[in-house]
Amino acid sequence: MPKVLSAVACNLDANILAACLPLMEESRIEAIEWSFDALYKVKEVPAWFRELLTTFSNEKRLIGHGVFFSLFSGKWLPEQENWLKHLEQTAAEFQFDHITEHFGFMTGKDFHRGAPLNIPYTTATLNIGRDRLKRIYEACKRPVGLENLAFSYSLDEVKRHGAFLEQLLEPVNGFIILDLHNLYCQLQNFNISFDEMIALYPLDRVREIHISGGSWDDSAAAPDRSIRRDTHDDTVPPEVFQLLEMTIARCPHLKYVVLEQLGNGLVTEESKRCFYDDFLQMEEIVRKNSDENDADSSDPFLPLSSLLTGTAVEDMTLYQQQLELSAILESSASYTEAMHALRQSSLANSDWRIEQWEPYMIETAVKIAQKWKK
Amino acid sequence: MKLSKSLLSAILIGIAIQ
């Protein structure tokens, strides 16, 4: 394994930066991950933040993590075209070591609202995803990766996710961000063991690992259980550090381990202290598993041959189903209402396999969709 | 990674006005 870098998700957020500052003063942060598309409302990025990005960029220690691209939208959107142009400009200004995005399609009519939810794993969605990944590569000319999803509707989806990711990434020779809190959500919400789950992921494609915290949510659909949600608003639970210990040595091409927490979870001095402690605990695990003498600078995840992108791949039936699903999730007053609407929708008896969806995860999808449409 | 003192100071000021 090459030298692994301990990193933080660092965005233009006073609380995040204040939490990171003590670590920066001690020169502990070895790389930063920046959500380059999340500043769409900021007219001008402050010079000092640009200097921070440039400092890491000059050392090839800056990685970009997109939020809003909506990889699996069935329709090719003008906003996606603009997103790529923005990425191309940003990649010309900063030297990203790699670029990543989220798996899924975004609910919500507004490009900058909504949450990424799962899609059916079909030839049509595979072709759309591959097409979009090629376009991301063409825009940035850097290795491209995808993050495993925290949310699934069914155990069947959970078990097929790793293999589908591998198929998606193959043409661009891309990599996986293995988000261990996302994995933790799946383990908890579907009662699957770590050993069974990790065996379903192509760990030789993992170049980056995320760790973060989250929250528990009650469920009316399953009153006897709590739903684990990937809200990034709390400290890293011991179980996720344990997952890091169990996973890190199994990823031969791992280069970055990133601690993520949102600014709204870093308001108090106590929360900032916990963030510092979490980083030190992560750093120690990384140090134990990193080969400090292996400064391999090769890029094992660049495309192996030239990529051809013609007209954008689209599937308007899929797009209409995505709109229909978004509308149901965003407007249903309860999970029972959502389930009834789904059974009457064009998603019934289709590749979406809604008949397998767990009621408590439909309930969670309603909550997520309604949280982000505001 | 080591950051310059001037950058760390600029970040500190930036946080205050951010």
Q: Has residue A347 been placed in a domain?
A: no
Domain count along chain A: 1
C-alpha span between A362 and A354 (Å, rounded): 9
The residue among A48, A58, A60 with the most chain B CBs within 10 A of its CB, best to mutate, is A48
Chain B residues touching A97 at Cβ < 8 A: none
In this predicted structure, what is the pLDDT of residue A81? 87
In this predicted structure, what is the pLDDT of residue A187? 96
* Min Cα–Cα distance to chain B from A5, Å: 10
Bridge partners of A208? A177, A256
The CATH number of whichever domain residue A103 belongs to comes to: 3.20.20.150
Contact A56 B1 (CB under 8 A): yes
Q: Has residue A14 been placed in a domain?
A: yes
Q: Please count the other Cβ atoms lying within 10 Å of the Cβ belonging to residue A371.
A: 12
Residue numbers of the domain that contains A173: 5-314
Contact B3 A52 (CB under 8 A): yes
Contact A30 B1 (CB under 8 A): yes
CB contact A67 to B (< 8 Å):
no
The beta-carbon neighbor of B3 closest among A17, A18, A24 is A24
Chain A residues touching B4 at Cβ < 8 A: 55
Contact A21 B12 (CB under 8 A): yes
In this predicted structure, what is the pLDDT of residue A295? 63
Contact B11 A21 (CB under 8 A): yes
Residues A231, A184 contacting (CB under 8 angstroms): no
In this predicted structure, what is the pLDDT of residue A296? 57
Q: Has residue A74 been placed in a domain?
A: yes
Q: Has residue A351 been placed in a domain?
A: no
C-alpha span between A109 and A71 (Å, rounded): 15
Per-residue confidence in pLDDT tens, chain A, 374 aa:
678 999 999 999 999 999 999 999 999 999 999 999 998 878 778 999 989 999 999 998 999 999 999 999 999 999 998 999 889 989 999 989 999 999 999 877 678 767 888 999 999 999 999 999 999 998 999 899 999 989 999 999 999 999 999 999 989 999 999 999 999 999 999 999 999 999 999 999 999 999 999 999 999 999 988 999 999 899 999 999 989 999 999 999 999 999 999 998 999 988 998 999 999 999 999 988 987 666 656 778 988 888 877 889 999 999 989 999 999 999 999 999 999 999 889 999 999 999 999 999 999 999 999 887 75
Residues A119, A153 contacting (CB under 8 angstroms): no
Q: Has residue A365 been placed in a domain?
A: no
The beta-carbon neighbor of A51 closest among B1, B7, B15 is B7
In this predicted structure, what is the pLDDT of residue A309? 74
Q: Has residue A331 been placed in a domain?
A: no
In this predicted structure, what is the pLDDT of residue A232? 87
Q: Has residue A274 been placed in a domain?
A: yes
Q: Has residue A319 been placed in a domain?
A: no
In this predicted structure, what is the pLDDT of residue A19? 97
Contact A48 B3 (CB under 8 A): no
